[in-house]
Chain A
């Protein structure tokens, strides 16, 4: 096949009507912080549940001038991040990067980068469940009604029960928040550590749930408050004295992993944001 006949697809894969629909819904999502906006959600060449919502947003907003970063669990080299980046790159030709500071659009699953993001950047989050009321009201028709009336009593009961049973607000990730003092919103499975980054941020956050067919947004400088009780305040995973074994950072989200060595190996705790950790290591090596 010639080079020309290889170009079977529209720029950014989606047809222009699909992009227009998503763009219209994104504008409404921004005007309604935290509110779930239904969208048609097209089929894609990657599986449902593997980032199709985030991907449809990225493909609808990307322009040839963008620089793109894709992370999964904070890691650019995670297999699914590689795969999504490869698809976006092959259908747009945009420049890609692993450097948070160099990116104009960052698509992410389960993490917000450690490096503070700027006003000229957009963070696109892949969302699995979309509606935080799912835990207490799986029926969409009733859950939509509850959102429309800001009727979140059942959610508070759920939170209270978790305190009674576990002595704490038991939700690890996907912590529910109230946005702009109105809508209850799912934070996607970002750890609690990342939740405060949503509050009064410089950056626009866009959320896409492909299988659930919902889009939502948190505009910059918007009040985002985690659900909490006075006597059981929201806490992150932070533990005093925690430290990344690789770059020495004391204020990052850490994950454990196994490192092989001549003694058979050991468990090590390091930054989950791999590019941030590498950047710090490189800086230390440069100044050493």
Chain B
């Protein structure tokens, strides 16, 4: 059966795998070490972790290396690994209030309890390429360590509040400016989209979980569309904080909370100008949107918080004007997962000989129909001309 060898799928797949492995090292440069990736490509590692939905910095560094820097591929590798892990136990609920902040800012008030802390922000950098980075060596590492120590010593934290701050939303709730935490049907545990199918309408916990593992770029586009004009989002950043968040579990025998480690995370809360009309018995307040992601991932959490607030308002029927695609919960949640979207878009690389052959046969029929109709039309025109002629 000669033609089997000609097609040779098995052989081709094996060779493709080898070629990919070769191509990464073909340039001849020194292979990257995982700590280098973890430390120096922080944002690539964070993105792999939040989109891959697994907090594991060194594994994420491995994924980034194996994916040759492709963010969706790196997240995919981590997701495919995560799915094989047994779920030992769930952590206790954790509040952003417990975060040891490296940075926290608010755009809604000039002064906030605990004070603004700009921290490691890239927002005000002048985006000029820095040629010096091209020639860094170990001296730069030593210099950076010394400079960091000096910077930390120079900054004087508020007494008794070292790295921990009250939340701006707490003050706003107290003052009845924003809605209380949205009530939803009481469930013992939050919805888990990895264990239960996401069906609509879905609880807010499912929405937040779906968005926290969604593709950053997709969330950004939709959040942007809603603020730019295809929607009614008018966000104000109540607070954005980035830092280290302790994670606790209940001791399996005593039930005592035990801290098992900390995660690097970013959290955002935004208030929406649109008033809540969820509870007609109470005076109107602002709605709040929430965003959370592993690592320093500010664009992601702000996009997520904006969409969360838009979707909450859409559910409550308090949007005015054109709501746009960002107000459609199914549209947002079903099209922003990077792993699902990339898989389906690229699946068109797979052979479609059969469906295409079927399409061709239908095209043939449509052509016959067209020809018949044209000739019928021709006859009618001819008749018309004949009857018009004197």
Contacts and interface: CB of A to CB of B under 8 A. Distances in A.
Does a CB–CB distance below 8 Å link A and B in the complex? yes
A257 B194 contact: no
B368 A167 contact: yes
Interface stretch (A37-45, A149-157, A196-204, A219-227): A37-45
Contact of A139 (B330, B345, B373): B330
B199 interface: yes
Contact of B354 (A15, A83, A110, A282): A110
Contact of B355 (A38, A80, A191): A191
B9 A77 contact: yes
Given A50-B343, A168-B366, A40 B357 contact: no
Number of chain B interface residues as a range:
35 or more
Contacts of B197: 38-41, 213-214
Contacts of B330: 139-141
B346 interface: yes
A118 interface: no
Interface string A2-43: 000000111001010000000000000000000000111111
A68 to B, nearest CB: 15
A74 B354 contact: yes
Nearest to B344: A49
Interface string A48-89: 111010000000000000000000111111111111001000
A115 interface: no
B366 A166 contact: yes
B357 A278 contact: no
A189 interface: yes
Given A40-B194, A82-B13, A211 B365 contact: no
B382 to A, nearest CB: 22
B10 interface: yes
Contacts of B369: 166-168
A101 to B, nearest CB: 17
Contacts of A73: 351-354
Contacts of A15: 84, 86
A173 interface: yes
Interface string B363-390: 0011011101100000000000000000
B202 to A, nearest CB: 10
Nearest to A273: B354
Interface string B1-41: 10110011110110000000000000000000000000000
Interface stretch (B74-82, B162-170, B254-262, B299-307): B74-82
B359 interface: yes
Contacts of A161: none
Interface in B331-357: 334, 339-340, 342-347, 350-357
Contacts of A167: 365-366, 368-370, 372-373
Given A13-B84, A73-B351, A189-B352, 19 more contacts: A8-B84, A40-B195, A40-B196, A43-B80, A43-B194, A47-B76, A49-B343, A49-B347, A73-B354, A75-B9, A79-B351, A80-B351, A82-B9, A128-B347, A140-B199, A141-B330, A166-B362, A168-B365, A168-B369
Interface of A: 8-10, 13, 15, 38-45, 47-50, 52, 72-83, 86, 109-111, 128, 139-141, 144, 166-168, 170-174, 189-193, 211, 213-214, 237, 239, 246, 253-257, 272, 274, 278, 281-282
- The 6 A-B residue pairs with the shortest CB-CB distance in the complex, in nearest-first order: A167-B369, A48-B343, A38-B197, A49-B347, A47-B343, A49-B344
